Amino acid sequence: MMRRSMSAAACLYLGLAGFNGCAKKQAEVAPSAPPAIPVSNPVTREVTDYIDFTGRTEAQDSVNIVPRVTGYLVSAPFKEGAEVKSGDLLFEIDPRPYQAQYDQAEGQVLLAEARVKEATADNLRAKALAKTPGAISQQDLDRYQAAEEESIAAVQAAKASLEIYKLNLGFCRVTSPIDGQVSRYYLTVGNLVNQDQTQLTTVVSIDPMYVYFDVDETTLLRVRKAINDGTVTRYEQGGIPVFISLEGEDNFPHQGTINFVNNRVNSGTGSITVRGVVPNAKPEKGIRLLTPGMFVRVRLPIGKPHEALLVIDRAIGSDQGLKFVYVLDAKNEAQQRRIETGPLQEDGLRVITSGLKPDDWVAVGGIQQIRPRMPVTPDRHPMPTLGAAVEDTGAKGKGEKKEASPTGETPAKAGTSNEPKGAATGKSEAEPGKGEPASSGQR
């Protein structure tokens, strides 16, 4: 029994010794190579700072159609919702009572003109008699003269009354005062309408279209200070562009200009009203896009284009509200670099206002696994974007076709951006540091 116990103990000892030997052999395995991290140089191109707002479209002209005479509607020849021209007939009020008044006034004019002839003839005869001494008194002469002048004044009064009745007869035809689009029938044929009271329909202009939006006081002051400091180039009066985007549109394809800024800030909302005017032409075989009352997104450029550095937005991290990126030093170690950010572009690149140089290698992927002073294996490739593949015009040669990055994004094209037609080449958010999309490093 003792021999068996000693044998079992020996076996157990040998087994533990073998396990410890394996564990020591595993611990002596050489450390792995630094992780491969994609890095890119910042893109240099012209951008224009912008601010985004929300707004509403309004008609340049809007008219409530109200009758100028009282009567019964006898016809409404327009089609509801149709486009009309200035002077097109919309409603017709029964003209017969006003035609009768006009005819009566016309007769009064003829009667007054006949009395002028009679009074003029009597006055001439009285003046002829006055040549004979004592034939007619001075009082009678004055009476005949006054009768002639009175009859002339009566003609003028009758003609004025005739003009009033002529206007009333014309007001029986209710026409559109502007070019635009007419609404529905508020009243149909057979209804009594009252002068200057009953609303029949409305007409609104549709080309061009106004866009109203409110600029907050903080942004207003920031822009004005930037203009005064010379950091933003001011547009000429009347030349400030504005771009709008409708529901479902990803870019800002509709361009207009700012034509009005209010003269005071609303103390209740802390904002000032700004108005842009945008063309709303009708396609040859289509319909107009803009209608009064639409919700739109408004993009207002600040100043003229300027050159800036840009990096993909996901490369930017946040530490207690301060923005940073990881930049490789000469030893290929990741160093945390404080930066200041600006506009976010449509292709996913964000403007860097300070903290980077054009030849810096910025980590654009794997941000979560990077730590300060951590050695990495750089995987160098052009700056990725969210747009389609473009031709590179950067340091590696103009016209060289760029392939998609390992993340499925496409490299950025230096000096270009995806812009709305006629827009400046860059864009900005409403306020730097506010409302920015969270990048993968901002956790």
pLDDT digits (tens, 9 = 90+) for 263-316: 999 999 999 999 999 999 998 888 899 999 999 999 988 777 888 899 999 999
Q: The pTM is what?
A: 0.67
d(CA 32, CA 25): 16
Q: Identify the CA nearest to 214 among candidates 65, 358, 56, 411.
A: 56
pLDDT at 419 over 70: no
- Name residue 318's beta-bridge partners: 323
Peptide bond preceding 67 in cis form (omega within 30 of 0):
no
pLDDT class of 339 with cuts at 50, 70, 90: very high
Buried b (16+ CB within 10 A) or exposed e, 18-38: eeeeeeeeeeeeeeeeeeebb
Confidence band, pLDDT 50/70/90 cuts, at residue 66: very high
Question: Per mean pLDDT, which range of 23-27, 181-185, 308-312, 387-391 is the poorest?
Answer: 387-391
Could you tell me if 402 and 382 are in contact, meaning their C-beta atoms sit under 8 angstroms apart?
yes
Rounded to an integer, what is the distance from CA 381 to the centroid of its chain?
A: 38
- pLDDT of res. 63: 95
Mean pLDDT of the chain: 81
pLDDT of residue 171: 95
> Is residue 53 over pLDDT 70?
yes
Count other Cβ atoms within 10 Å, centred on residue 430: 16
With a cut of 70, say whether residue 417 has pLDDT above it.
Answer: no
Q: Which residues pair with 334 in a beta bridge?
A: 328, 374
Residue 225 clears pLDDT 90, i.e. is over it: no
Look at residue 239 in the predicted model and tell me its pLDDT: 74
Inter-residue contact 201 to 182 (CB < 8 Å): yes
Structure tokens at 49: 């700072």
Q: Tokens for 51, please give them.
A: 């601010």
* Mean pLDDT of all residues in 226-241: 73
Torsion of Cα atoms, 190 then 191 then 196 then 201, to 10°: -90
Helix, strand, or coil here: 365? coil
- Which has the higher per-residue pLDDT, 91 or 439? 91
Of 124, 179, 128, the C-alpha closest to 147 is 124
3-state secondary structure of 106: helix
What pLDDT is recorded for position 436? 39
Q: What is the pLDDT of residue 294?
A: 93
Beta carbons within 8 Å of 167's beta carbon, 6+ residues apart: none
pLDDT tens, residue by residue, 31-40: 678 888 999 9
Rounded Cα–Cα distance for residues 278 and 25 (Å)? 76
Residue 442 confidence (pLDDT)? 39
Work out the percent of the chain whose per-residue pLDDT is above 70: 78
CA distance 347 to 405: 14
Q: What value does the mean pLDDT take over residues 142-167?
A: 93
For residue 284, the model assigns a pLDDT of 87
- Are the C-beta atoms of residues 440 and 38 closer than 8 Å to each other? no
Check: CB of residue 198 under 8 Å from CB of residue 410. no
Strand-pairing partners, residue 349, are 312
Q: Are 326 and 370 a contacting pair, CB within 8 Å?
A: yes
**Residue range(s) of every CATH 2.40.50.100 domain in the chain:** 63-90+176-201
Q: pLDDT band at 412, cuts 50/70/90?
A: low
Report the pLDDT value the prediction gives residue 159, as an integer from 0 to 100: 94
The arithmetic mean of pLDDT across residues 92-96, rounded, is: 96
Query: Are residues 94 and 71 in contact, defined by beta-carbon separation less than 8 angstroms?
Result: yes
CA atoms in the 13 A half-sphere facing the CB of 70: 3
Alpha carbon distances (Å) from 106 to 112, 114, 167 = 10, 13, 13
Q: Which residue has the tokens 């160098």?
A: 380
- Residue 345: CB atoms within 10 Å: 27
User: Of 50-54, 83-87, 316-320, 416-420, where does the model show the most confidence?
Assistant: 83-87
pLDDT band at 28 (very low <50, low <70, confident <90, very high): low
- Per-residue pLDDT of 248-274, as tens digits, reads 887 888 999 988 999 999 999 999 999
Q: In the chain, what percentage of residues exceed pLDDT 90?
A: 51
Per-residue confidence band for 49, with pLDDT thresholds at 50, 70 and 90: confident
Q: How confident is the model at residue 184 (pLDDT cuts 50, 70, 90)?
A: very high
Candidate ranges 50-59, 130-139, 396-405; pick with highest mean pLDDT = 50-59
DSSP state of 64: E
Residue 391 has pLDDT above 50, yes or no: no
pLDDT at position 237 is 64
d(C-alpha 242, C-alpha 317), whole Å: 32
Q: Where in the chain is the domain with CATH 2.40.30.170?
A: 40-57+208-411
Q: List where CATH 1.10.287 sits in the chain.
A: 95-171
Which numeric CATH code is attached to 63-90+176-201?
Answer: 2.40.50.100
Q: CA dist 139 to 130, 144, 150, Å?
A: 11, 9, 16
| Domain 40-57+208-411: CATH superfamily, name plus number | Efflux pump adaptor protein, beta barrel domain (2.40.30.170)
Of the two residues 388 and 409, the one the predictor is more confident about is 409
The Cβ of residue 342 has, within 10 Å, a number of other Cβ atoms equal to: 22
> Which of 245 and 436 is assigned the larger pLDDT?
245
Q: In the predicted model, is pLDDT for residue 406 greater than 60?
A: no
Fold held by 95-171: Helix Hairpins (1.10.287)
